Amino acid sequence: MLMTSAPKVPYVPDGQPWLFAPDGRRGHPRVPVSRALPGAVLFDRDGTLIRDVPYNGDPGRVRPMPYARAAVDAVRRRGIPVAVVTNQSGVARGLLTLGAVEAVRRRVEELLGPFDLWAVCPHGPGDGCGCRKPRPGLVHAACAALGTEPGRAAVLGDIGADLAAARAAGARGVLVPNEVTRPEEITAAEHTAPDLLTAVRRLTARPEGDP
C-alpha cells in the first residue's frame, strides 16, 4: 500500500484507512535491526499512549499515559519504526473533523516525539470496513507502509480489540491494562505488561549474542 496523506475531502465510508507520515517523513535514520527484534512497534492511541477522552478533538485535553515518552523513546533507540494505529469513529459519527484528528496528532507528537506513521480508521462500527480494530486492516496497512511483515510487528494496546487485530494480522499483541480494561480481556491475553515501559523493554531486550 502506498503512503498517502490523510484525505483532504469529507469523510466517505469507503473502507480504507487514513495513512500518513507527519510532515512527509518516512522516519528518522535507521540502524540495522536484529531479526530477533520487532520489525515495527505499533501503539494504540487512546488509553495506551494518551488518556482516553472519548471523541477528543481538543489538543489541550491530551495527557500522556505513564511512561509513554520513555517507552516510545526506548523503541526508537533500537532503530525500530514506531507507529500509531487508532480507531477514530468520531469522524464517521460527525463528532470529529480531519482537522481535529490532525490537531490531536500534532499535540501527541509534541509530547511523545515523532512517529514514523499514523494509521487511522475513520469509520463507524456499522460501516463494514476492514480497518476498524478488531479487524486487522490497520496493522496490515501500517506494516506495508513501514516495509515490515506483520509477523514481525508488535501491537501494544489496552483492550481486547487491539489484541484481536494483532492476532488477525499475524502480529504479536501485548495488553497494557488500565482502569477500563475488562478482567476477561486480561485473562484472555497471551502477553500482558503492567505499563508501556515494561512492555517495550521486554520486546526490545538485547538478544543474547547481539552486539
Q: Catalytic residue numbers?
A: 44, 46
CB atoms near residue 178 (< 10 Å): 15
Between CA 109 and CA 104 the distance in angstroms is 9
CA-nearest of 69, 2, 82 to 38 is 82
- H helix runs in 50-194, sequence order: 68-77, 98-112, 137-146, 160-169, 183-188
**8 Å CB contact between 36 and 206:** no
Q: Which helix (H) or strand (E) holds 62?
A: none
Q: What distances in angstroms separate CA 27 from CA 77, 104, 140, 174, one per listed residue?
A: 13, 19, 18, 23
